[in-house]
Amino acid sequence: MQKKFLKNLGLLLFLNLLIKPFWILGVDRQVQNVVGVEEYGLYFTIFNFSFLFYIFLDLGITNFNNRNIAQNNQLLSKHLAGISILKLLLGLFYGIIIFVTGLIIGYRGQQLYLLAWVGFNQFVLSFILYIRSNLSGLLLFKTDSFLSILDRVLMIIICGFLLWFNVFGTTFQIEWFVYSQTAAYLITLSVAVTAVINKSGKLKFNWNFPFFILIVKKSIPFALLVLLMSFYNRVDPVLIERILPGTLGEEQSGVYAQAYRLLDAGQNFAFLFAVLLLPLFSKMISIKQSVEKLVKLSASILISGSLIIAITAQFYSTDLMNLMYYRFPGESVEHFTLRINQSAIIFRFLMFSFVAISSNYIFGTLLTANNSLKQLNFIALGSLIINISLNFYLIPHFQAIGSAIASVTTQSAAAVSQLIIVIIIFRFRINYKFILNLAILIIALISVGFLLTEFLNTRWEVSMVLMLISGFLLSVILKLFHVKEFIEIIKEKE
């Protein structure tokens, strides 16, 4: 299982490193620079609002199905047709929920129009993720890997064409960005469905209400978990936009989005671990095979890697924000400087959230595979209460920066709680050597960053790359990245 994990992780990382940085830094960033911070802030708020209710599209079915198919491959044909019909019904219910809620909280006009398109995109995306869960449940990671980047490839082509060729003779509109997502998702869904049908054979669709009820009952614990996690992960921009008065809310949501973009990039890569680990953990638990080595392997890679990135971000946050964003027409130098400085501070907080999120993708995934959903739901509920309470207190005082503080506090509390539960349930021994090596890495890397920024007279880009390389070399020396062990695992026979 360790060999399968490393080989497929390598493929996933290669494909995503090939595509997603260009999407996030080349296209998505450029869209915000073109349409403006307020216009993008409106889209970012609507997107996150639609995500709050994502659970009504899924009810935890995707996670349940991934785990279930990994343990019972023979159920693919039986479940695929029935769950697909259920997903269509959930899509209709989701549409009603987001529109009614949007009207209640005051969305009108352009806000509702964007919400309709973004909501439809969420529905198509949820269907793609469900279809892909069948492939990963069958451990067909190569096919799933290519599908994981297909939508981004298509969006790069479509958005890139609209951004750089000005085919309509007018400024790029945020609506075009949403339409591009719709086209890319629909094409990706068609390819994904074709791939799964090739494995399942002909499908016979029928209305089977008892089957729907059975699947929903089994998925409810997953659904509650996803609902709670969606709220404490995605509610920040919505609260910023609603709590702050007038256009300040949309502007601050846009400032938050500037910093969040790089966290989102990091989360996308950390999420790849969860994609691979959930079916592997589920399979290993079902055959009563120890998961300790795989947990240690994945934690050593992901947690040490996220720490290197987070600490590096503390030294170069302002430089990165200045590189990514520029002054809008008519924007004063003072306002631009304030916007960049705010984003840099938010970015520093959010990158520490990235370390906690990375931990959650390992230990939370293990608890999900073990069906320890009661414990996960208690943690998620507590995290939600902490997040909303802190946001309502901090946003009026510190605007978007307050929301970033709430985020890092919430994610850290969730990470520590999940780790404690894993140690109790799986009776893992506390690895003091690993903890010590992480502490040494942190202290050494902070020292390297200080020396590079204070005494090395070179461009900041060179200095940052040197710091990242130093972090990797320190991890190898401390055996957090155990190169020899990785090579031995790859050479093992299946």
Q: What is the pLDDT of residues 280-301, one digit of tens each?
A: 788 788 888 888 888 888 888 8
Strand (E) or helix (H) holding 330: none
Q: Note whether 368 and 361 are within 8 A (CB).
A: no
What pLDDT does 82 receive? 72
Q: Alpha-carbon distance 148 to 128, whole Å?
A: 9
**For residue 466, what pLDDT band results from cuts at 50, 70 and 90?**
very high
Mean pLDDT of 100-105: 89
Tens of pLDDT along 64-76? 766 666 666 666 6
Q: Note whether 394 and 386 are within 8 A (CB).
A: no
Higher pLDDT, 26 or 2: 26
What pLDDT does 431 receive? 85
Q: Is the pLDDT of residue 92 over 60?
A: yes
What pLDDT does 393 receive? 94
Q: Alpha-carbon distance 404 to 253, whole Å?
A: 11
Q: Please tell me whether the overall predicted TM-score, pTM, comes out greater than 0.85 for this model.
A: no
What pLDDT does 117 receive? 94
Average model confidence (pLDDT) across the chain: 83
Amino acid at 431: N
User: How many CB atoms are located within 10 Å of the residue 473 CB?
Assistant: 12
Higher pLDDT, 306 or 486: 306
**For residue 172, what pLDDT band results from cuts at 50, 70 and 90?**
confident
Burial bucket for residue 483 (CB in 10 Å: 0-12, 13-18, 19+)? exposed
**For residue 198, what pLDDT band results from cuts at 50, 70 and 90?**
confident
What pLDDT does 389 receive? 94
Measured in whole angstroms, the distance separating CA 52 from the mean position of its chain's CA atoms is: 14
Q: Is the pLDDT of residue 452 over 90?
A: yes
| DSSP three-state, residue 201 | coil
Q: Alpha-carbon distance 170 to 67, whole Å?
A: 48
Q: What percent of the chain has pLDDT over 90?
A: 32
Q: Is the pLDDT of residue 491 over 60?
A: no
Q: Count CA atoms closer than 13 A to 134's CA, side-chain side.
A: 24
Determine the number of helices (DSSP H) and then strands (DSSP E) in the chain: 18, 0
Q: What percent of the chain has pLDDT over 70?
A: 85
Q: Is the pLDDT of residue 134 over 80?
A: no
Q: Is the pLDDT of residue 225 over 50?
A: yes
Measured in whole angstroms, the distance separating CA 226 from the mean position of its chain's CA atoms is: 13
Q: Is the pLDDT of residue 365 over 60?
A: yes
Tens of pLDDT along 370-421? 888 889 888 988 998 999 999 999 999 999 999 999 999 999 999 999 999 9
